[in-house]
Structure 1
Amino acid sequence: MVHVIACLAEGLGIRGTARVFEIDPNTVLHWLMEAAVQLHAFSAYFLHDLHLNQVQLDELYATLSAVRDGEMSEDEAIDYLSTSPRWVWTAIDPESKLMLSAQVGDRSQAMAQAVLHQIAQLLAPGCVPLFLSDGNPSYLPAIVRQC
């Protein structure tokens, strides 16, 4: 099971991992779900009462690799990203490199609020770090609500 999860962590897909280990893809999926439950429990146990100086917030979308690979122009990417339905919202402590949150959703005020709520649950009482972002207007109201 450890080797299967390691292959998934390296970026090999579920079906590819199943072929490598000659097991059913549903087994790989089941093990991945079990690992996710354990990771969630581990995170809940260890990640609390954090004293942070900064939190960097950002949203990402998969077409960025298409721009890098020359498959899409920057202008096309900007047009596409402005109406994209799915984003990866991230929050990281730049000092420790600890990933505080990674959530997938639309680019909305509700998602910004969900990310900030998750971060607030991790912070020590009275800890109010400096929040840095790319200027997404959804963050400010979310930060104000949590602090």
Structure 2
Amino acid sequence: MNKLDTNTRSQILHMLCEGQSIRAITRPKGMSKNTIAKLLSDAGAVCAEYHDQAVRNLTSKRIQVDEIWSFTYAKQKNVAAAKAASEGAGDIWTWTAIDADTKLVMSWLVGGRDSEYAMGFMNDLSRRLANRVQLTSDGHSAYLEVVEGAFGRDIDYAMLIKLYGASPDSAKGRCSPAECTGIKKNRIEGSPDLAHLSISFAERQNLTMRMHMRRFTRLTNGFSKKVQAHANAVALHFMYYNFVRIHASLRVTPAMAAGVTDKLWEIADIVTLLEAKEAEKPTVRGPYKKRENAHVD
């Protein structure tokens, strides 16, 4: 990738974080999609590393978790017939955990929706917390198997199960969601406060992800072709959401509200992290040249 200046990098990353596709950026910027894809990949990797180190010892009180569906290369039903499908092609899920008070997305994981990924997600979440919390999830059965393993009995955990039925509005098309006809609140562990039993903020975050990441937009060709590219885009999004984007109701960023940082970040600060990481890379040496007077056995 040609070396881009800090301002150009900041502009490109900002456009990506606001939902622009790579193709849409190549046209006004006059550069190849590989250049932008490489920048996204590098920035996403740096953001994931920084988040892993910085978002620790959180004093949250109420946490909501959820999963959001997408796919890479092709939908699962079409993978078998797809040409040159990459490893990991098909359905892919992003697990998220959000603080109901600060709106900080403290943990996420990209992968499958089975118990193995649920365990990895919950273990990561538990290691970021400094105190006992109330946890709310939907009715996904994988949570039942892993929450106790990650937290033991040091958790107030409940499930909010939504009951769905057919919509009475016949004018709605096949892509319209089913209508929620009721909810069930199940206490699983500890003494969760049922008055604060909700996954609304987690579900609202799903909408934010679809609005700010082209790869999550439905019925388009902006989906990721590789799992790692998808994961890097998610990491960049959450860095932007947590540290750069001011939350409308909080009037500060989620990271500031949670005490993770005391300043309002800019996209240029993410570029600074990237450039610092690049500076750590060792200089590539040229081909070895034998000295003229070197002794040869």
- Match for 1:117: what amino acid? N
Establish whether residue 44 from structure 1 lines up as the match of residue 48 from structure 2: no
Of the three residues 147, 151, 154, the one matched with 1:143 is: 147
Of the three residues 108, 113, 118, the one matched with 1:112 is: 118
Pairwise CA distance, 1:62:
4.6
Partner of 2:107: 101
Of the three residues 21, 26, 29, the one matched with 2:34 is: 26
Pairwise CA distance, 1:137:
1.5
Q: Deviations over 1:85-139 (max 9, x none)?
A: 3222211111100012232322211121121112122112xx2211101121211
Tell me how large the CA RMSD over aligned residues is: 1.9
- 8 Å Cα contact 1:85/1:107 also seen in 2: no
Could you tell me how far apart the structure 2 residues matched to 1:96 and 1:55 are?
Answer: 10
Partner of 1:58: 66
- Match for 1:118: what amino acid? D
Identity %: 27
Establish whether residue 4 from structure 1 lines up as the match of residue 12 from structure 2: yes
- Match for 2:145: what amino acid? P
Partner of 1:80: none
Structure 1 residue ranges, 4+ long, deviating more than 6 angstroms after superposition: none
Counterparts in 2 of 1:111 and 1:49: CA distance versus 1, 3 Å: same
- Match for 1:136: what amino acid? H
SS in structure 1 at match of 2:94: strand
SS in structure 1 at match of 2:108: strand
Counterparts in 2 of 1:37 and 1:107: CA distance versus 1, 3 Å: closer
Structure 2: runs of 5 or more not aligned? 1-8, 72-89, 152-297
Pairwise CA distance, 1:36:
1.3
- 8 Å Cα contact 2:70/2:91 also seen in 1: no
- 8 Å Cα contact 1:90/1:99 also seen in 2: yes
Partner of 1:122: 128
Q: Which has the higher helix share?
A: 1
SS in structure 1 at match of 2:107: strand
Could you tell me how far apart the structure 1 residues matched to 2:100 and 2:146 are?
Answer: 20
Pairs aligned (count):
125
- Larger radius of gyration between Structure 1 and Structure 2: 2
Could you tell me how far apart the structure 1 residues matched to 2:21 and 2:108 are?
Answer: 19
SS in structure 1 at match of 2:139: coil
Could you tell me how far apart the structure 2 residues matched to 1:20 and 1:29 are?
Answer: 16
